[in-house]
Amino acid sequence: MKKFENVAANEKNPKWEQMIKRESPLGKKSGDIRTEFERDYTRVIYSTAYRRLKHKTQIYFSPASDHICTRIEHVNHVESISYTIANTLGLNTELTKAIAISHDLGHSPFGHQGEHVLNEICTREIGENFWHEKNGLNAVDNLILLENHDGYRRNLNLTYAVRDGIISHCGEVNDKVLFPREEAIQLSDYTKPNEYKPYTWEACVVKLSDRISYIGRDLEDSISVQILNKKQIDELDKILNLGKNMNNTNIISTLIRDLCENSSPEEGLKFSKEKVELLDKMNQFCIKNIYTNEKVESANRYFKLVLEEIFRTLYNRYDEENTIIRLKQEQNIYPRLIEGFIMWLETYTKNCRQGINKKLFDLKSKKDYARAIIYYISGMTDKYAIDIYNEIISF
């Protein structure tokens, strides 16, 4: 059934050299046995940004529960689903694993609501849009640092194929058929989510796996937290038509099997008409009963307050080139917030040793300073953001 073997990401593919291209060469130890995509995978899972995903909201803010999906579980679910699909179709599973595990590194605290709040701030203060796919590319290209063999912290410097998979992964759209694009664009050309198709079949698989993963798990978690009443569960049961076996396992296996059976290089990656309709109905149900639920909306208003207050507190301390000096002078007022932000800000504003990390912000520019705060907040976990907010309002 390995129908896609001839178009997989490997040395026979005409796109191969572009796929494995990096901004600069990675240092290699003698006898390193990993492939380029395996190296990407390990670079991501050893990063602190990946570790923080375990304390970032997927849909439900539920820090006290061990059984509600967090962002780190979600990326692992996507890795598992995309591996099964890629392996069945004959695609490069090392590439799908690397894209899947890194695809949500750009997510802010508090899930999509946090993303919406940061977009509002970003639009208001610097006239740019913020969305997690773009921020994910920015994170792996610029923000995330990893200690290398030489003992210095350097940017992740991932391959083009993985970076493309990150910014192209948007799963919140109803793609009926997916083909990869042919041209190797500058990934910085993206101006909005889903503007271009992914560059590889493997990235297309991750894009669809993202949707398969979150829609079933969102339903499962909604039942677990008892946010759905009996009437809503009965409605969902009719949509899924799984009887007593209405669970995420059956939803995922049904969709994976359908996708593999109906896809081909000639006709693209696609679900059957029946399963497209099922996904649409599931999505409509989630919008109506989950994503706009009163309790979810209450949490969203709190998240907006937390993130806006953190931004305002740091933004009000801007003093051009004297900003870091001013922050240090006022560190006793907000010790944890300012200490962490100074350490982060100095990493990206001082002249850095060539080839290690980049100077990203010029403190002469207030827009650059605002951008620095937004990027800093985007890397926070839910708990850290709430702790910082409590520090701000406490005496």
Reported as a pLDDT band with limits 50, 70 and 90, residue 4 is very high
CB-count burial class (<10 Å; 0-12, 13-18, 19+) for 332: exposed
Reported as a pLDDT band with limits 50, 70 and 90, residue 351 is low
Predicted model pTM = 0.95
Same domain, 252 and 192: yes
Average pLDDT over residues 368-392: 97
Asked if residue 123 is part of any domain, the answer here is: no
Q: For the chain, where are the alpha helices, taking DSSP H only? A: 16-19, 36-45, 48-52, 71-89, 93-102, 111-126, 132-138, 160-167, 201-224, 230-240, 248-262, 273-286, 294-315, 323-329, 335-349, 366-378, 382-393
Asked if residue 138 is part of any domain, the answer here is: no
Same domain, 160 and 50: yes
pLDDT of residue 237: 87
Asked if residue 135 is part of any domain, the answer here is: no
Q: What is the pLDDT of residues 272-318, one digit of tens each?
A: 999 999 999 999 999 999 888 888 899 999 999 999 999 999 999 99
Q: What is the pLDDT of residues 42-67, one digit of tens each?
A: 999 999 999 999 999 888 887 777 87
Same domain, 279 and 334: no
Task: Evaluate if residue 244 carries a pLDDT over 70.
Answer: no
Residue 3 in contact with residue 89, Cβ under 8 Å?
A: yes
pLDDT of residue 353: 52
pLDDT of residue 171: 61
Phi/psi zone of residue 110: left (φ > 0), alpha (ψ -120 to 50 degrees), beta? left
Q: Of the residues 232, 258, 292, which one is the last residue of a structural domain?
A: 292
Reported as a pLDDT band with limits 50, 70 and 90, residue 24 is confident
Q: What CA–CA distance (Å, rounded) separates 383 from 34? A: 36
| Residue among 51, 76, 54 nearest 144 (CA) | 51
Most confident by average pLDDT, 18-32, 97-111, 273-287: 97-111
Cβ within 8 Å of residue 18, ≥6 positions away: 160, 161, 184, 199
Domain count, the chain: 2
Asked if residue 195 is part of any domain, the answer here is: yes
Q: For 268-365, where are the alpha helices, taking DSSP H only? A: 273-286, 294-315, 323-329, 335-349
| Residue among 156, 153, 48, 42 nearest 380 (CA) | 48
Asked if residue 21 is part of any domain, the answer here is: yes
Q: Of the residues 250, 269, 292, which one is the last residue of a structural domain?
A: 292
Reported as a pLDDT band with limits 50, 70 and 90, residue 349 is confident
Same domain, 17 and 163: yes
Average pLDDT over residues 102-126: 96
Same domain, 244 and 339: no
Instruction: Please report, for the domain that includes residue 177, its CATH number.
Output: 1.10.3210.10
Q: What CA–CA distance (Å, rounded) separates 50 from 166? A: 14
Task: Evaluate if residue 354 carries a pLDDT over 60.
Answer: no
Same domain, 207 and 340: no
Asked if residue 258 is part of any domain, the answer here is: yes
Reported as a pLDDT band with limits 50, 70 and 90, residue 68 is confident
Average pLDDT over residues 321-337: 95
Name the residue range of residue 187's domain. 5-105+144-292
Same domain, 238 and 201: yes
pLDDT of residue 336: 97
Q: What is the pLDDT of residues 187-241, one digit of tens each?
A: 998 999 999 999 999 999 999 999 999 888 888 888 888 888 889 988 988 898 8
Task: Evaluate if residue 172 carries a pLDDT over 90.
Answer: no
Task: Give CA 175 to chain center in angstroms.
Answer: 19
